[in-house]
Amino acid sequence: MLQQTTVAAATGYFEAFVARWPRVEDLAAAADGQVMAAWAGLGYYARARNLLACARAVAAAGGFPDDEAGLRALPGVGPYTAAAVAAIAFGRRAVVVDGNVERVMARLHAVEAPLPAAKPALHALAAALTPDARPGDYAQAVMDLGATICTPRRPACGLCPWRAPCAARRLRIAEMLPRKVAKPTKPLRRGVVYVALRPDGAVLLETRPARGLLGGMLGLPGTDWGEAAPAPRPPLAADWRDAGAEVRHTFTHFHLALRVVVAPVAADAARAGDWRPWSPALEAALPTVMRKALRAGMAACRCN
């Protein structure tokens, strides 16, 4: 949950998650839809799909592998996670490199090459310092050093245990490192989302394809998202009208603008499809961008 999400935002989700599924076997037995609903609002839903696939692989194997190679073979586990678990949980000598460690290495050795090109060099420098004894304690110490002392802005060099050998401190460039290549401007994609409401309060939903953004999540019917204005694609015949609202949301690589279109639909004319009664729990199970669109559509229907 903490991948690209703050501790403050993830804590409540984490506590509810482990209370509901306290053991890996419990999570492995959970339905996909239940897990995705519990994750709704955290974003980056591929993490939830990978977590569930990983739990099922671990449960089927009878336990976790205890080395980097075995951990890397699990769904969704990359180099950093595999190294961290191997070192901290199993005491294996593994090179644990996150953003904090990269910053410490860049400053300690005054690495001027910008990220991300400098990553291999910073990993090699971290590997040279990783000890055979207590590698998990060492890994956590260096990560904490970067998080609390060797911070991105105004590093507390006077408190740093590595202040004497730190080349960046000596050159007075610590706060400038690591250098980074400027991020490109995120493109804007557009789409249309349809909010169909029955007199009994039910709303038309769909389950999104398993792969892709918001994969496997409940959502409102809509068009594809692209840089050009999309062609209309209503999910059923109805008196559709513009809600006068545009929902905006930002994903990792692009901004999204969704035009909200609404239609009140007679109950006897719309029995096919995934109609669900509105409730706070249903709304909470939707990803954030769909929740915004549903609220905008329902507000438009109440006003007219």
Q: For each successive 10 residues of the chain (304 residues), what is the average pLDDT?
A: 86 94 96 88 84 95 94 93 96 96 98 95 97 96 96 95 96 95 90 90 86 82 88 86 90 91 79 80 85 89 62
Q: Which CATH number fits domain 1-63: 1.10.150.120, 3.40.50.300, 1.10.340.30, 3.30.70.980?
A: 1.10.340.30
What is the fold of 188-303? Nucleoside Triphosphate Pyrophosphohydrolase (3.90.79)
CATH class of 95-183: mainly alpha
Domain boundaries, the chain: 1-63, 95-183, 188-303
pLDDT value of residue 24: 95
Cα distance between residue 179 and residue 176, in whole Å: 6
Domains 1-63 and 188-303 share a fold: no
